[in-house]
């Protein structure tokens, strides 16, 4: 029921996801009176969707601890519990991120060997169909090098299982490529990464302008830097889109130009479709769906402001991880690398 335009986007998203994942089945938690008419709009959707009435909900303003205490019957919590009970393979929510993480940690439990779950997404790159896993997106503002190492394991398995990279190239986000560059955390983490066994190969530092070159498969950073980076990308893309619109809309000369082009309608149509194709490649909806990694069950966070297409994409991420049996594979990998049973690490530089 979460997100700015819920529950419409959730129902529409499920409808759209059906085409690509015909074997998918849905349990939807929320207010029946609101949901029933929405589901009816899409023919046949009710045959793959079970509706469970829940009037309670977590709002965007609820603090994580508060949601955890008083949201036991909320749609978010019950959907997570369905994964914990094995009734569902994955939960997808467009609601409050902090509450989702707190509830998912409580109900699904953190994997043995992982101290802090993280949020990961894949970034578009110059290389078509080659996404780079980027994390943490903000679950852990303060991190230790051990936290970053665990993120690298989670990201490495993600890249291997979902993007089929045999040996993912794993990098640490930094402000230069030389060993002496960066803050204490990243320098300590680099030492740890060089010694550690990883599901992939540690290739050193990646800079901010290298996140989307396709030269790296997994890029790891703390949640503060990761969140700022992700939002900076969004902001830059929005600004460019805005400036482009402005360049075309502001001037009557451009309108005159388009008028001149009218005799060449087929040509304009083709250019229009090229622009459309480009727009789709940079459309954030097609990259929607961040994964909460390090939990004993699958949990996907959709952007709160997305639409049905975006939500369907988040369902697609969930389907990919569920079909690939991601959770089992991470647990096996953690055992193989000897990550289980390590004590809780301290943030680098803490007294």
What part of residues 131-160 is at the interface with its own copies (CB under 8 A)? Answer: 138, 141-142
Distance of CA 84 to the CA centre of its chain: 20
Nearer to its own copies among residue 144 and residue 313 (C-beta): 144
Residue 233 interacts with its own copies (CB under 8 A)? Answer: yes
Stretch that binds its own copies, among 7-15, 28-36, 194-202, 216-224 (CB under 8 A): 216-224
Site string for its own copies, 85-124 (x = CB under 8 A): ---------------------------------------x
CA 132 to chain CA centroid, nearest Å: 12
Q: Which is nearer to its own copies, 86 or 266 (CB)?
A: 266
User: Is residue 208 close enough to count as binding its own copies by CB under 8 A?
Assistant: yes
Q: Given the rule CB under 8 A, which of 69-77, 163-171, 269-277, 318-326 is the region that contacts its own copies?
A: 269-277
Q: How far is Cα 303 from Cα 314, in angstroms, rounded to an integer?
A: 9
Among 86, 266, 341, 343, binds its own copies (CB under 8 A): 266
Query: Which residues 275-314 are close enough to bind its own copies by CB under 8 A?
Result: 275, 277-278, 281-282
Neighbouring C-beta atoms of residue 237, cutoff 10 Å: 14
Nearest to 56 by CA among 87, 37, 77: 77
Under the criterion CB under 8 A, does residue 253 sit at the interface with its own copies?
yes
Give the one residue of 8, 59, 213, 342 binding its own copies; rule: CB under 8 A.
Answer: 213
Give the span between the Cα atoms of 339 and 9, in whole angstroms: 39
Q: State the number of binding residues for its own copies (CB under 8 A).
A: 76
Q: Phi/psi at 293 (nearest 5 deg)?
A: -105, 150
Judged by CB, which is closer to its own copies: 33, or 350? 350
User: Among 36, 85, 191, 244, which residue interacts with its own copies (rule: CB under 8 A)?
Assistant: 244
Task: For residue 312, give every residue at least 6 positions away whose Cβ sits within 8 Å of its Cβ, in sequence order, or none.
Answer: 12, 13, 14, 15, 16, 17, 20
Task: Kindly tell me which of 54 and 97 has the beta carbon lying closer to its own copies.
Answer: 97
Strands 298-301 and 290-293: antiparallel
Can you tell me whether residue 18 is helix, strand or coil?
Answer: helix
CA-based Rg of the chain, rounded to a whole angstrom? Answer: 22
Q: What is d(CA 339, CA 154) in angstroms, rounded to the nearest whole number?
A: 12
For the chain, how are helix, strand and coil distributed in percent, rounded to 5? 50, 15, 35
Q: Which stretch binds its own copies (CB under 8 A): 103-111, 112-120, 261-269, 326-334?
A: 261-269
By CB under 8 A, residue 257 contacts its own copies: yes
Examine residue 345 and tell whether it contacts its own copies (CB under 8 A): no
33-72 positions binding its own copies, by CB under 8 A: 63
Nearer to its own copies, 75 or 313 (CB): 313
Stretch that binds its own copies, among 16-24, 26-34, 234-242, 329-337 (CB under 8 A): 234-242
User: Which of these ranges, 84-92, 155-163, 208-216, 327-335, lies near its own copies under the rule CB under 8 A?
Assistant: 208-216
CB of 266 to its own copies, least distance (A): 5
What string of DSSP letters covers 93-145? E-S-HHHHHHHHHHHH-BPTT-SS-EEEEEE--SSTT-PEEEE-SSS-SS--H
């Amino acid at each position: 029921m979460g997100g700015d335009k819920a529950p419409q986007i959730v129902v529409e998203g499920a409808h759209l996801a059906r085409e690509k994942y015909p074997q998918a089945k849905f349990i939807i938690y929320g207010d029946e009176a609101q949901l029933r008419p929405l589901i009816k709009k899409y023919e046949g959707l009710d045959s793959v969707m079970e509706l469970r009435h829940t009037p309670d909900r977590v709002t965007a303003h609820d603090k994580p601890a508060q949601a955890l205490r008083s949201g036991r019957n909320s749609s978010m919590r019950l959907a997570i519990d369905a994964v914990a009970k094995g009734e569902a393979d994955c939960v997808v929510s467009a609601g409050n991120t902090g509450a989702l993480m707190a509830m998912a940690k409580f109900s699904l439990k953190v994997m043995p060997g992982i101290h802090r779950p993280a949020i990961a997404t894949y970034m578009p790159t110059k290389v078509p169909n080659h996404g780079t896993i980027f994390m943490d997106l903000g679950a852990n503002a303060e991190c230790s090098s051990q936290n970053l190492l665990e993120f690298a394991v989670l990201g490495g398995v993600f890249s291997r299982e979902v993007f089929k990279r045999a040996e993912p190239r794993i990098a640490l986000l930094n402000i230069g490529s030389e060993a002496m560059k960066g803050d204490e955390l990243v320098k300590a983490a680099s030492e740890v990464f060089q010694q550690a066994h990883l599901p992939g190969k540690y290739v050193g530092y990646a800079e901010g302008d290298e996140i989307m070159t396709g030269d790296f498969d997994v890029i790891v950073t703390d949640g503060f830097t990761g969140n700022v980076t992700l939002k900076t990308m969004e902001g830059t893309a929005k600004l460019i889109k805005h400036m482009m619109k402005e360049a075309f809309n502001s001037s009557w000369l451009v309108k005159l130009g388009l008028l001149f082009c009218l005799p060449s309608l087929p040509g304009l149509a083709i250019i229009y479709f090229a622009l459309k194709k480009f727009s789709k490649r940079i459309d954030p909806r097609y990259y929607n769906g961040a994964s909460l990694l390090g939990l004993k069950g699958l949990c996907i966070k959709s952007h709160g402001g997305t639409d049905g297409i975006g939500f369907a994409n988040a369902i697609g991420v969930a389907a990919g991880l569920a079909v690939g049996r991601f959770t089992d594979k991470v647990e096996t990998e953690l055992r193989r690398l000897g990550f289980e049973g390590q004590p809780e690490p301290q943030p680098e530089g803490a007294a």
